[in-house]
Amino acid sequence: MIEGTYGFVYCSVTGFGMGVFTIKGEQFIGFDSGGVNYDGTAKEQEDGSIVLDVKLNVPPELETAQSRASQGPPHTRQFVTTLPPAFGDGKPQEISSVPGNVTVMIRQVRDDFLHPDVRPTLFDTHRLGAASDVYLKGHSGRDVK
């Protein structure tokens, strides 16, 4: 079962950042350090792989890992990809995207990081970045003696 909250880092030849997303049922919602909102679906397949169909809602003043900043109105980008079980559990995964590929590393975080019915925000991305070792599911700094 893939329901839960996840933290991720991403990079491409034009930029890098981090973010947080949640999956409830098949609904995928997230936010990244660049101010981009993510909306879409995440569907776990019989073999454990995960099919993502995600739309990125990009404010016009932002530069994303896939593009340079524009002066125009907000725009959207969409990607569909299949990732391995557990999103690769922190191992780098390459996602094909226009205009260029993006490498992501994704890890599940503790269930208490976000309230399950609250959309992630930029603040949550910063909070995760400030203490990611505390929030990683099963790898909490609190578990180490």
Domains of the chain are 4-143 (2.40.128)
Task: Give the residue among 19, 26, 20, 18 at the shortest CA–CA distance from 2.
Answer: 26
- Backbone conformation region of residue 25, classed left if phi is above 0, alpha if psi is from -120 to 50, else beta: left
pTM of the model: 0.82
- Per-residue pLDDT reduced to its tens digit, 101-126: 899 999 998 878 887 677 888 888 88
Q: Which residues of 11-29 are buried (b: 16+ CB within 10 A; e: fewer)?
A: ebeebebbbbbbbeeeebb
The residue among 110 and 88 whose pLDDT is bigger is: 88
Report percent pLDDT > 70 for the chain. 79
Average pLDDT over residues 66-74: 54
Q: Which residues of 110-127 are buried (b: 16+ CB within 10 A; e: fewer)?
A: beebbeeeeebebebbeb
pLDDT at 73 over 70: no
- Per-residue pLDDT reduced to its tens digit, 7-26: 999 998 878 999 999 999 99
Which stretch of DSSP H or E encloses residue 130? Answer: helix 122-130
- Per-residue pLDDT reduced to its tens digit, 26-56: 999 999 998 899 999 999 999 999 999 999 9
Q: Decide if 103 contacts 4 (C-beta within 8 A).
A: no
The residue among 138 and 78 whose pLDDT is bigger is: 78
Ranges assigned E (strand) in the chain: 4-12, 15-24, 27-32, 37-44, 50-58, 75-83, 93-95, 102-109
Q: Decide if 42 contacts 142 (C-beta within 8 A).
A: no
